[in-house]
C-alpha cells in the first residue's frame, strides 16, 4: 500500500525539469562576484513581485529573520498577529538573534485587529514604551488554516504603518497560494508590503529555498545580515535553478491543490460535520478538529497511519492536512475512506470505553 502523506506541501519532490536545470546550472560564487543562476532567480522573483531586488535564502525562517534584522533596530518592538508562524514556529529568533521584543496583536483569520494594531504603535523609545521597529503580516496564514489576507486589509496595514513611519514585512511562505486564490498577479499582493519572503520549497515543489524581495537598498543591507547568520550561498545556482523552474511552471497549478483541499474537506465534512469547518478552507490547508470524536489528534494520527495516511498534529485536538502536487483526486478519495474507517472504529470503541 503506498502511503499518502498529507503532513505538508514541503514533501513535494522536484520535477524532472527541475533536476535537469539543476544539473545544467551555471555556477559562480554568490558572495564573491555572484552566481549567475542565483542572480536569475532573484531577478525573476523581483520582477514577479514588482519589487526592485531579491535575495535567495535557504528557508522561510531565514528570510523572516534577515528581514527582522534588516528593518528594525535591536531593542525595538515588532508587532505581528498573535498566531504568526514567526511566533509559533521560529524558535524565538526574533528575540534571541535579532534582539527584538514583540507584541502579539489579536487577529481574525490571521488578520490583525487594526484598532489594536494602531494603538500598539509607538513612534520611538518613550518613557513607558519601546519604539515600533517593524510590523509583520502573514499570508497565507498557516495557523488560520491557510487563510488569505484580504488585499484591503493588507493595504490598510501598509497605510497605517506608513503613516507612522514603520516598515512592513510579510511572511509569504505561501504567497503564490494567496495570489492564485485571489485571482490576481502576485505583485498585487506584494504591493502592500515593503518586503516579503516567499518559499519555492512548498507547493511550488523546489527542494530548497525562499526569496526575500523588496527595495534595492533594503535587500543590499539584508545581504550583510544573511552572511552574518551563515546564509552565504556560494555555488547556490544548483538549487536556485529549481526555484526558477518553480516560478516559471508551478504557480498556476496551485489551484489544483486548492481544489483537492476542497474535495478533502467536503469528504471529511460528510463523514462528520464536526471534523471540518468548510468556510475555513481557503487554499491548500485543511484543519481537522478531533475534539467531538472524543479522541486526541495523536490517536487519530496513529489510527490513520495504520490506514496508510500520514497526517500531522497542529494542537492536542487539531490535525493539519496539506494538499500538494502528489495528492490527486484518487489520493483524496483514499484519504477520506481512511478517515471514515477510523471514525467508525472510534465510534464503535466509544460505548466499550464508557462501559469500562
Ligand X SMILES: Cc1ncc(COP(=O)(O)O)c(C=O)c1O
- In DSSP terms, which residues pair with 153 in a beta bridge? none
Q: What is the number of the residue whose Cβ is closest to ligand X?
A: 60
Q: Which is nearer to ligand X, 59 or 113 (CB)?
A: 59
Q: Please identify, among the stretches 17-25, 57-65, 103-111, 179-187, the one whose residues bind ligand X according to the rule CB under 6 A.
A: 57-65
Contact flag: residue 289 with ligand X (CB under 6 A): no
Interface residue with ligand X among 61, 193, 287, 290 (CB under 6 A) is 61
Task: State the Cα–Cα distance between residues 291 and 286, nearest whole angstrom.
Answer: 15
Interface residue with ligand X among 59, 83, 232, 235 (CB under 6 A) is 59
Least Cβ distance, residue 270 to ligand X (angstroms): 28
Least Cβ distance, residue 346 to ligand X (angstroms): 29
- In DSSP terms, which residues pair with 5 in a beta bridge? 310
Tell me the three state secondary structure of residue 274. Answer: coil
Task: State the Cα–Cα distance between residues 182 and 149, nearest whole angstrom.
Answer: 9
Contact flag: residue 181 with ligand X (CB under 6 A): no
Q: Please identify, among the stretches 54-62, 183-191, 265-273, 312-320, the one whose residues bind ligand X according to the rule CB under 6 A.
A: 54-62
Contact flag: residue 85 with ligand X (CB under 6 A): yes
Contact flag: residue 177 with ligand X (CB under 6 A): no
Write the DSSP string, 54-105: EEEES-HHHHHHHHHHHHS-TT-EEEEETT-HHHHHSTTHHHHTT--EEEEE
Contact flag: residue 171 with ligand X (CB under 6 A): yes
Q: Which is nearer to ligand X, 69 or 303 (CB)?
A: 69
Contact string (CB under 6 A) for ligand X, positions 195-224, x = contact = ----x-x--------x--------------
Q: Which is nearer to ligand X, 140 or 335 (CB)?
A: 140
Task: State the Cα–Cα distance between residues 238 and 22, nearest whole angstrom.
Answer: 5
Contacts of 218 (CB under 8 A, 6+ apart): 70, 71, 167, 194, 195
Contacts of 215 (CB under 8 A, 6+ apart): 51, 52, 53, 194, 195
Contacts of 240 (CB under 8 A, 6+ apart): 25, 35, 37, 38, 40, 41, 56, 209, 233
The residues that touch ligand X, with contacts defined as CB under 6 A, are 59-61, 85, 138, 142, 171, 173, 199, 201, 210
Amino acid at each position: 500500500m503506498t502511503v499518502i502523506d498529507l503532513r505538508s506541501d514541503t514533501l513535494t519532490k522536484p520535477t524532472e525539469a527541475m533536476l535537469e536545470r539543476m544539473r545544467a546550472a551555471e555556477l559562480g560564487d554568490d558572495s564573491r562576484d555572484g552566481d549567475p543562476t542565483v542572480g536569475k532567480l532573484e531577478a525573476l522573483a523581483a520582477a514577479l513581485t514588482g519589487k526592485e531586488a531579491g535575495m535567495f535564502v535557504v528557508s522561510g525562517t531565514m528570510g523572516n529573520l534577515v528581514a527582522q534584522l534588516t528593518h528594525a533596530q535591536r531593542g525595538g518592538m515588532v508587532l505581528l498577529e498573535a498566531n504568526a508562524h514567526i511566533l509559533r514556529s521560529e524558535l524565538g529568533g526574533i528575540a534571541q538573534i535579532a534582539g527584538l521584543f514583540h507584541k502579539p496583536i489579536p487577529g481574525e483569520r490571521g488578520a490583525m485587529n487594526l484598532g489594536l494594531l494602531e494603538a500598539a504603535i509607538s513612534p520611538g523609545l518613550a518613557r513607558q514604551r519601546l519604539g515600533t521597529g517593524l510590523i509583520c503580516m502573514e499570508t497565507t496564514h498557516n495557523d488560520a488554516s491557510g487563510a488569505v489576507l484580504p488585499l484591503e486589509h493588507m493595504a490598510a496595514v501598509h497605510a497605517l504603518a506608513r503613516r507612522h513611519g514603520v516598515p512592513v514585512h510579510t511572511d509569504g511562505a505561501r504567497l503564490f497560494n494567496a495570489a492564485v486564490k485571489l485571482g490576481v498577479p502576485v505583485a498585487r499582493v506584494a504591493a502592500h508590503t515593503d518586503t516579503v519572503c516567499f518559499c519555492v520549497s512548498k507547493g511550488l515543489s523546489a527542494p530548497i529555498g525562499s526569496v526575500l524581495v523588496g527595495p534595492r537598498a533594503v535587500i543590499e543591507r539584508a545581504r550583510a545580515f544573511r552572511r552574518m547568520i551563515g546564509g552565504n550561498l556560494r555555488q547556490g545556482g544548483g538549487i536556485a535553478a529549481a526555484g526558477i523552474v518553480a516560478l516559471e511552471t508551478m504557480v498556476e497549478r496551485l489551484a489544483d491543490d486548492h481544489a483537492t483541499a476542497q474535495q478533502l474537506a467536503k469528504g471529511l465534512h460528510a463523514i462528520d460535520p464536526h471534523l471540518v469547518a468548510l468556510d475555513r478552507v481557503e487554499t491548500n490547508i485543511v484543519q481537522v478538529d478531533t475534539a467531538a470524536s472524543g479522541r486526541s489528534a495523536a490517536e487519530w494520527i496513529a489510527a490513520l497511519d495504520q490506514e496508510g495516511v500520514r497526517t500531522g498534529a497542529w494542537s492536542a485536538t487539531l490535525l493539519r492536512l496539506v494538499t500538494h502536487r502528489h495528492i490527486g483526486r484518487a489520493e483524496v478519495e483514499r484519504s477520506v475512506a481512511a478517515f471514515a474507517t477510523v471514525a467508525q472504529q472510534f465510534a464503535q470503541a466509544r460505548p466499550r470505553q464508557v462501559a469500562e
